Structure 1
């Protein structure tokens, strides 16, 4: 069994970069068959998790503050969003 594959993208400042991370790269990773994609947004201090179901991504959830990140591929992960941005 191969290990789970995950892409984590950190959103760069600026509207063009935001669109690139939230739209263009999402489509690219989806087309490549990446099973799980996280969008880490320092501006909003959120982590959006997407899971590939069939040929398109479904949003697992958007996490912030003291939320625990709920990753479909990494269920043992014990990570608070606040640790990512404040820790």
Structure 2
């Protein structure tokens, strides 16, 4: 019986359980979203994200977009390629390409016509029943190693939010925030998310 990681990995012809690069990724003609995590290929769910996921994503994106108007930082939502190079930025050397639900990039030099190359300042992932393990384990590791300053994990069904803040190269978890809490970003000046407002009316 296949485990969760095997189930998420793309089977032939896109993966032979080898290590792939962003250069390979650019050549694939596939009809669903995939991500590369340390050279392994992971598929997104074939179906579109659930309604609750979309509503939460839309509300947060709108708040960030308004907050960041006329500022240097830019907000992007999936699908948007974020390349996380270990050393070289050459397509052939990049082994991790993810599509966060929402990310904020404050360094314009990291942006190009293909997306972002280098760690965004803030990444938010909105959990769904099909992707929790990947977000909590695989992406946690690459975001920490790549230097993503803040990693927010939002659970729309439980109405909770957990923030990981990078300190000396390691993530420090916050308390588990829930209804009634106001969550302030440590890297996006002035941005505060009201969880009561975020989750109201989403049942």
TM-score (norm 1): 0.81
Query: Pick from 120, 123, 129: which aligns with 1:7?
Result: 123
Q: C-alpha root-mean-square deviation of aligned residues, in Å?
A: 2.2
The yes-or-no answer on 1:29 pairing with 2:146 is no
C-alpha displacement of 1:77: 2.1
C-alpha displacement of 1:31: 1.2
> Structure 1, unaligned stretches of length 5 or more?
none
SS of the residue 1:69 aligns to: strand
> Structure 2, unaligned stretches of length 5 or more?
1-72, 74-105, 107-119
SS of the residue 1:73 aligns to: coil
User: Contact 2:185 / 2:192 at 8 angstroms: preserved in 1?
Assistant: no
C-alpha displacement of 1:66: 1.1
Instruction: For 1:68 and 1:75, locate their aligned partners in 2 and report how far apart those are by CA, in whole Å.
Output: 14
The count of corresponding residues between Structure 1 and Structure 2 is: 85
1:39-54 aligned at under 5 Å gives the runs 39-54=153-168
Instruction: For 1:37 and 1:78, locate their aligned partners in 2 and report how far apart those are by CA, in whole Å.
Output: 15
C-alpha displacement of 1:7: 0.3
Query: What is residue 61 of structure 1 aligned with on the other side?
Result: 175
| Closer, same or farther: CA 18–40 of 1 in aligned 2, 3 Å | same
1:67-82 aligned at under 5 Å gives the runs 67-82=181-196
Asked which structure has the greater CA Rg, the reply is 2
Which structure features the higher share of strand residues?
A: 1
